[in-house]
């Protein structure tokens, strides 16, 4: 059932599956009009259908390659044309590309990981920032999806780890520069949320000591609830960094 009150306009990247889809559904249920972005149209349409918004003008699906500056600009142009402004960005698109021992990672795989996880995040945040700065009333909130890997690496994940560490710097820079424009920026660092991309964790993950060990996961609904908590704050308040993880995962004390 559609909410009676519209909370604002949210853009969610990587919205066709996993955490992005779960967060998009939670935002819609909380009253947001939601613009869904992702590489493929069919998964976005499935998310839109799950929101119950097909044809209701409360949701919009825009296939978008976040590594393409023109596609990102087109995404935000369509969002503003449809709904008038941008109040929230969940900057979520990412990829595990570039895995393997550091001495075997190809330059192509390295660049692909950096392009999606860092450059794509920058392009999307930049486009959102521009609209939030220019709109009236001014301001908005950007929530970047970092990762536990923004703090500590897994074995054989040099490109992903480097990109996610850099996302932390991106978050801090946006938070600083956004002060004068009523733009808040925070980051959620997620550990072992259960999605199709993380299904291997329950079967066994390579540990620092070389063992393959199954790892506990949490329902991605908990991640969506955490994003909603960050989003619900007034713009004069901000959660710069939040970590949500499976209690028993090998993160604190990893290695």
pLDDT digits (tens, 9 = 90+) for 76-114: 999 999 999 999 999 999 888 768 899 999 999 999 999
Report the alpha-carbon angle 137-132-183, nearest 5. 90
**Do 77 and 123 contact (CB within 8 A), yes or no?**
no
Question: What average pLDDT does the chain have?
Answer: 91
Q: Which of the residues 160, 170, 205, 215 is marked catalytic?
A: 160
Specify the pLDDT at position 161.
Answer: 95
160 is annotated as an active-site residue: yes
Q: How many whole angstroms separate alpha carbon 223 and alpha carbon 38?
A: 19
**Do 8 and 35 contact (CB within 8 A), yes or no?**
no
**Do 93 and 14 contact (CB within 8 A), yes or no?**
yes
Specify the pLDDT at position 4.
Answer: 42
Classified by CATH at the fold level, domain 8-245 comes out as Rossmann fold (3.40.50)
Of 162, 14, 160, 166, give the one whose Cα is nearest residue 98: 160
Band of residue 53 on the pLDDT scale cut at 50, 70, 90: low
Of 234, 232, 227, give the one whose Cα is nearest residue 244: 227
Ordered by start, the domain boundaries in the chain are 8-245
């Amino acid at each position: 059932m559609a909410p009676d009150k519209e909370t604002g306009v949210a853009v969610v990247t990587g919205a066709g599956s996993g955490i992005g889809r779960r967060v998009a559904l939670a935002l819609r249920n909380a009253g947001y009009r939601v613009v869904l972005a992702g590489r493929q149209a069919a998964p976005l349409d499935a998310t839109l259908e799950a929101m119950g918004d097909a044809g209701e003008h409360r949701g919009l699906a825009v296939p978008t390659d976040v590594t393409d500056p023109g596609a990102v600009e087109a995404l935000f142009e369509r969002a503003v044309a449809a709904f008038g402004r941008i109040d929230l960005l969940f900057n979520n698109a990412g990829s595990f590309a570039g895995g393997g021992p550091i001495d075997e990672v190809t330059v192509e795989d390295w660049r692909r990981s950096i392009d999606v996880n860092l450059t794509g995040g920058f392009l999307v945040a930049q486009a959102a920032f521009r609209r939030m700065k220019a709109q009236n009333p001014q301001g908005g909130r950007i929530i970047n999806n970092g990762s536990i890997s923004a703090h500590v690496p897994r074995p054989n994940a040099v490109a992903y780890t480097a990109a996610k560490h850099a996302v932390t710097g991106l978050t801090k820079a946006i938070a600083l520069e956004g002060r004068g424009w009523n733009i808040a920026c925070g980051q959620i660092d997620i550990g072992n949320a259960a999605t199709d991309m993380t299904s291997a964790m329950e079967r066994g993950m390579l540990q620092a000591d070389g063992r393959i060990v199954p790892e506990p996961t949490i329902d991605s609904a908990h991640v969506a609830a955490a994003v909603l908590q960050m989003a619900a704050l007034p713009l004069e308040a901000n959660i710069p960094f939040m970590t949500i993880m499976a209690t028993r995962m090998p993160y604190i004390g990893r290695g």
